[in-house]
Structure 1
């Protein structure tokens, strides 16, 4: 009886325990999954750059928050508007953990949710990009652009807000203005002006002078025509933030374009002028004749900075004189074959200004034109040595010259003599009498010493 009662009691208690445990687990399941469901993430789930695959929501939140905290310490965010790039303070950006986890989709790449106020963005824009003025609509557009770009969680990024601001903008102005004076307007230059006037340099595009003329029928063009127009375009490009990819100068100092701004073109040698527009907006080329000069300007969305070019460190190099000789040039005459010209070197600098302050100065180029040496052609002459030089040639102003004889006058040479009347070799010409006495003895005494084949002196005969 006791055993039966014990068994019945044990079974009752066991059943109650199982029932209580089941109810407890069921309640927990209902609370966790029905009343307060807990979210977890499956395979291949990312929030920003952070992998939260197979993590419950609370662990995923810790993972993401830890990653974003590190992002704040290392992030470098810059805002680009046209030609200006300015650092953006990430401390005004607030990470929204709840919104990030709530909007995250399982098995997908999800974005981080950041909060940025329009007030902080408006203050930033007006301080960093003055003198531009931004209205409320433009500030709201920039704020949303910043939010969208930060959502990927990249540590280093440049956010270009130019396209967002200019999507509906019609603002255009002349951003450059260059005039070359005393330009002879040839047919080729006029054809180039007509073809280039109104040409649009698209965003992020490159312009090549040689490619342009090859794609356009412009008739006969000289290298000088191409160089003149390319040079005024080059001078215009220097007043922007455009990049110059290829530019050359000629061998001599230019006479039709200002020093420092020549962009030589040579089709035969493939010498080109190439530049790139790095901006998110396009610019239009405008070319016009101004009196006897040529004017060029680029129109488009205005730049934040101002660009100016200066010519410094001009140096001149004197030419040398090269002498050449020719038998076709008359005596005492010098013919100039090439007139010399000074060589010149100039350095071109670009100043980048923000309002009136120079924020950067950089050297653009250093152009060197070597001097053209002067070439003179002189007459070809034979030099006759002076008297007594002993080389067998002499000149006198007397009546005669002798060799090996006596004429009552001193001899001026040892061999061949030239006088105003005659030349005498190996003879004697007298006018009648002589003042010499004992000339035979003197001749013998003055005769040159004689040597045998062994080099021994032969005594004079008695």
Structure 2
């Protein structure tokens, strides 16, 4: 009897122990298996632009790796410092897949984690030694979030700010009676050329509600700015020139504006920092200075292929003059054509680039003489005397009349209406004065 009770108790203990062990072992295995098949990420979960909703960690990692490989095979990454671009291979960037997926939160937008390898050999030591590498890495990571295939990073954001210096200056001699011009530079001794933006003289005048000044004054301002920015990397968006050069202006250095004829002066600043143009009046010279961060390269301006064209002599005859008398109405001046070229050099003097900025043409101004009627020469059938480019006009008119020599404006970007006016004027002149070897009528 006693043995039976002991056996019963022993059987109960064995059965209970087996049940407890089975529940612990198989229950944990079942729960673990159930957990593995459940999605790790809930709905509306994104890593970068990749939707990982209802995906396991392994599935999310596979999606990210595939998208990263696709991006890196087509991506172009450039680091820009001033005027120089440095190409970075996507292989220099590593996607930290495990860190990215592990740190992702359910139901929200998550960022990629990217690591940048050393930039040795990509950037010069003068840049890399001062570079905020951590900031650049964060900037690259931010740019890659959308898997953009063309990424441009401005290194100036991750370098110590440089003190502004004088990058260009010019001294222009002005004629007397420049009250309007002096009034302008007194009100605006400094003009800002904002970073990566375009400056328009016409817009500047309108925005600041300046009093209406003459076209000549605004042309002087445009010319001063143009000459100052020529030896820089600024881009000339719009520029016009006159038919005749003004006093104290060399060919290739003029900028004419006439707002009522839609002739503006515009320049683009491609740099990541703002530059200023300072005006300083030191009679009779106007000193114009461009200040800002130092350029990576040095710029110089040259004029090439300059050619001059001799003016013709136009003879008129008048009964008001006596024999031996002669009156010169217009002295005349030669025409000229010239190319303006900008050269870019490294600090060591190596030529990087040569570009033609403009090709300016100023037609000759013909000399006009008035002779007495009885002094009219007889022109041989073969033409004028050897070596003389002369046209004879048998009519006369008022000796005091001054013919208008500025029949229009010429510029690379002038309006078609102005081109037509100039062509008509040339046709009228050819028809009126004839050719050098043509008999007088």
TM-score by length of 1: 0.68
Q: Helix, strand or coil: the match of 2:123?
A: helix
Q: Helix, strand or coil: the match of 1:203?
A: coil
Residue among 240, 255, 258 paired with 2:232: 240
Contact 2:49-2:145 within 8 A present in 1 as well: no
- Is 1:353 the equivalent of 2:345? yes
With a CA cutoff of 8 Å and minimum separation of 6, indicate the structure with the bigger relative contact order. Answer: 2
Residue among 128, 137, 145 paired with 1:143: 137
1:207-286 matches, within 5 Å, as 207-216=199-208, 221-286=213-278
Contact 1:80-1:161 within 8 A present in 2 as well: yes
Larger radius of gyration: 1
- Is 1:300 the equivalent of 2:301? no
Q: CA deviation at 1:235?
A: 1.8
Counterpart Cα distance in 1 of 2:106 and 2:225: 56
Counterpart Cα distance in 1 of 2:191 and 2:274: 10
Deviations 1:274-311 (A, max 9, x none): 22223332122211134532221122222222222211
Counterpart Cα distance in 2 of 1:305 and 1:170: 15
Counterpart Cα distance in 1 of 2:319 and 2:190: 61
- Is 1:82 the equivalent of 2:77? no
The aligned residue for residue 30 of structure 1 is 31
Residue among 361, 370, 373 paired with 1:377: 370
Contact 1:100-1:111 within 8 A present in 2 as well: yes
Change (3 A) 1:122 1:190: farther
Counterpart Cα distance in 2 of 1:294 and 1:344: 26
- Is 1:202 the equivalent of 2:203? no
Counterpart Cα distance in 1 of 2:374 and 2:27: 128
Q: Helix, strand or coil: the match of 1:280?
A: coil
Counterpart Cα distance in 2 of 1:157 and 1:100: 21
- Is 1:157 the equivalent of 2:116? no
Counterpart Cα distance in 2 of 1:211 and 1:157: 33
What is the number of equivalent residue pairs in this alignment? 357
- RMSD of aligned alpha carbons: 3.3
Deviations 1:356-377 (A, max 9, x none): 2121111111111111112233
The aligned residue for residue 104 of structure 1 is 104
Counterpart Cα distance in 2 of 1:154 and 1:331: 85
Change (3 A) 1:181 1:143: farther
Contact 2:114-2:141 within 8 A present in 1 as well: yes
Contact 2:86-2:122 within 8 A present in 1 as well: no
Long gaps (5+) in structure 2 = 1-20, 379-441
TM-score by length of 2: 0.71
Change (3 A) 1:184 1:141: farther
Change (3 A) 1:375 1:382: closer
